[in-house]
A and B are shown apart, each in its own frame.
Chain A
Amino acid sequence: MVKTMDLPEEEYILPGTRACAGCSMALIYRIALKALGPNTIITVPASCLTVLHGMQGFCTTKVSVLHTPFATTGASASGIVASLEDKGLADEINVVAFAGDGGTVDIGIQSLSGAVERGTNFIFACYDNEAYMNTGVQRSGSTPPGAFSTTTPNGKTGYKKNMAKILEAHGIPYVATAISSYPLDLYQKFRNAVEIKGPKYIHILAPCPPGWGYNPKDSIEIGRLAVQTGFWPLYEVIEGKFILSKDSQKFIDPAKRKPITDYLKAQKRFKSISDKEIKQYQNYIEAQWNEIEKRIKNE
């Protein structure tokens, strides 16, 4: 297990970015860049991360960043890797696609699926703030049921796409879920991903103060609740082998899980959630953990 002192002291994002106060995406990006190091090329579609990088003429990061159109994140990563291979630099430089949930589960899914299917040696990291936050909180395929957004004023109906499972079905060597509230776990997952050759996918839940409706200072606490209630299990799938992460291990016992209402009631976006929907959440969490238990037993 990594400790705080094991993380490199150097910062790769410079202070004074355009990210909101208490933005967990900024924290995710900061920790990820520490794990990836200076020899990294990042490719970013339209997202909050574009906003963080700032206007033309300036850059807030010490690593190279390519801004690409919304639907082409995966394809652009394949292009970068191909050109690095041509120049003989592919082993020295990490290529990382960093996209929001819109750029991953909705608009970017076909190019991501294509890049993965081609076997591109890259990391695709999705920071999932569960709506199009950058343009003012419109619903995405990743918005959980019952959540308010400006396009679902009475709460979303339908489901949240389980992107980690979709990518796992591609049969790639590394899939992981993470969250900003456990930065050491997040750091370790990026370090693990760097060591593996082939397409890698990391899905990171990113609590968003203005979009989810909570005080910026609670950014870390809300994320912890997502894990403690069992809503967001942290795990890795390495070469098909399922590994439940240390921070999630004790929540396999239903008695240790906090009630899901703790998580839902802390956010204004779930203000109008009905009892029926809360019941659906409870069933979802139970089914999810039953499946995890089964997977662990089978291995």
Chain B
Amino acid sequence: MVDAKKDFQKILGSVQKPVKGEAGKTGTWSSKKPIIDLEKCIPVKSGKPSCFNCWLYCPEAVVTRTIPPKIDLEYCKGCGICQMECPVKAISMEEVKIE
């Protein structure tokens, strides 16, 4: 017998927990990773929240809107959009090994 109340969520499969890394550690998809040169980064230099193009254009939501901006390399797929969009060319794509 199915207990409708108890098994409601199971039957519908509707309530699923949002999780990070549904496709695994997507950081392993690419060997090249963005590294921010903090000496050039606009919000770090000015000390004010500004620019944050890397945060705005990141399709994977791995960049934080903090000073300095941090990139979660564990999940960064290494597409290189942040490198292209940085107005002061502070981001470079480098070979980084993910443990």
B38-67 to A contact mask, C-beta < 8 Å, 1/0: 000000000001111101111111100100
Interface residues of A in 96-122 (CB under 8 A from B): none
User: What A residues does B55 contact at CB under 8 A?
Assistant: 4
Docked complex Cα distance between A56 and B30 (Å): 26
Which one of A14, A16, A23, A25 has the highest number of Cβ atoms from chain B below 10 Å of its Cβ? A16
Count CB-based A-B contacts (< 8 Å): 109
Chain A interface size, as a band, is 35 or more
Q: Are B22 and A16 in contact (CB under 8 A)?
A: yes
User: What B residues does A54 contact at CB under 8 A?
Assistant: 22-23
- A33's closest neighbor in chain B, by CB? B61
Tell whether A91 is near chain B: CB-to-CB under 8 Å.
Answer: no
Given known A-B contacts A23-B59, A220-B57, A220-B84, A15 and B78 have beta carbons under 8 A apart: no
Q: Are B81 and A22 in contact (CB under 8 A)?
A: yes
Shortest CB-to-CB span from A21 to chain B, Å, is 4
Q: Are B80 and A61 in contact (CB under 8 A)?
A: no
Q: Are B18 and A14 in contact (CB under 8 A)?
A: yes
Q: Are B23 and A17 in contact (CB under 8 A)?
A: yes
Interface residues of B in 21-43 (CB under 8 A from A): 21-26, 29-30
Tell whether A218 is near chain B: CB-to-CB under 8 Å.
Answer: yes
Other-chain contact of A16, B16, B17, B20 (Cβ < 8 Å): B20
Tell whether B94 is near chain A: CB-to-CB under 8 Å.
Answer: no
Other-chain contact of B51, A4, A61, A183 (Cβ < 8 Å): A4
Q: Are B17 and A27 in contact (CB under 8 A)?
A: no
Shortest CB-to-CB span from B29 to chain A, Å, is 6
Q: Are A58 and B79 in contact (CB under 8 A)?
A: no
Shortest CB-to-CB span from B43 to chain A, Å, is 10
Docked complex Cα distance between A58 and B13 (Å): 10
Docked complex Cα distance between A145 and B4 (Å): 53
User: What A residues does B49 contact at CB under 8 A?
Assistant: 5
Shortest CB-to-CB span from A129 to chain B, Å, is 13
Tell whether A147 is near chain B: CB-to-CB under 8 Å.
Answer: no
- A26's closest neighbor in chain B, by CB? B59
Q: Are B18 and A16 in contact (CB under 8 A)?
A: no
Tell whether A55 is near chain B: CB-to-CB under 8 Å.
Answer: yes
Q: Are B61 and A216 in contact (CB under 8 A)?
A: no
Tell whether A94 is near chain B: CB-to-CB under 8 Å.
Answer: no
Q: Are B16 and A15 in contact (CB under 8 A)?
A: no
Tell whether A30 is near chain B: CB-to-CB under 8 Å.
Answer: yes
Tell whether A60 is near chain B: CB-to-CB under 8 Å.
Answer: yes
Q: Are A22 and B57 in contact (CB under 8 A)?
A: no
Q: Are A4 and B52 in contact (CB under 8 A)?
A: yes
- B16's closest neighbor in chain A, by CB? A59
Given known A-B contacts A11-B61, A21-B29, A219 and B79 have beta carbons under 8 A apart: yes
Tell whether B11 is near chain A: CB-to-CB under 8 Å.
Answer: no
Docked complex Cα distance between A218 and B51 (Å): 20
Counting from the closest, the 10 A-B pairs by CB-CB distance are A217-B80, A16-B21, A22-B79, A15-B75, A54-B22, A21-B77, A26-B59, A27-B59, A21-B79, A216-B79
Known pairs A17-B60, A217-B79 / 14 extra A-B pairs, C-beta < 8 Å: A4-B52, A4-B53, A7-B56, A14-B19, A16-B26, A17-B22, A19-B59, A21-B78, A26-B60, A54-B22, A56-B13, A217-B81, A220-B85, A221-B84
